[in-house]
Amino acid sequence: MNKVKLDEIDHQILDMLIDNTRTPFTDIAKKLLISAGTVHVRVKKMEESGIIKGSSLTLDYVKLGYSFIAYVGIFLEKTHQTKFVLERLSQIPYVTVAHITTGKFNIFCKIRARDTTHAKNIIFKIDDIEGISRTETMISLEESINDKRRLMHTIFNEL
């Protein structure tokens, strides 16, 4: 798969959109001293090449009452059950991320809950999925680093 070439203007556009996906193209254009049409064309090019895959909102889950985060390592009875188990995990809305992994766990996922009681119920639902032999849970005390901008800047510097 070929890497897509981005120039400094593309990097700056992405940088502003990562800070705020709702930044109007006209605001980006003013800051970069280019036309809004140029911003539109470049963003469209990055969407078509697959670099930009939509946009998202950042929610304050604590204010919404979902401050509890846990990570659940899942041990499968047989590895061929991975797809089936992932399909069942995707039906539990509180499972927000799931990775197929090497090492200790077959699947590693993140859950978000209201409190420990709610988390326990989610974990019990996970445990009940056919094909899971057992789980191991780690409670997140605090999310200390969640900075996609640092990664983006590192990737840009490596291009």
- pLDDT at residue number 2: 66
Q: Which amino acid is at 110?
A: K
Sketch the domain layout of the chain as residue ranges: 6-55, 59-138
Domain with residues 59-138, CATH architecture = 2-Layer Sandwich (3.30)
pTM of the predicted model, to two decimals?
0.79
What topology does CATH give the domain 6-55?
Arc Repressor Mutant, subunit A (1.10.10)
Q: 154 falls in which pLDDT band (50, 70, 90)?
A: confident
DSSP codes, 23-76: --HHHHHHHHTS-HHHHHHHHHHHHHHTS---------TTTTT--EEEEEEEEE
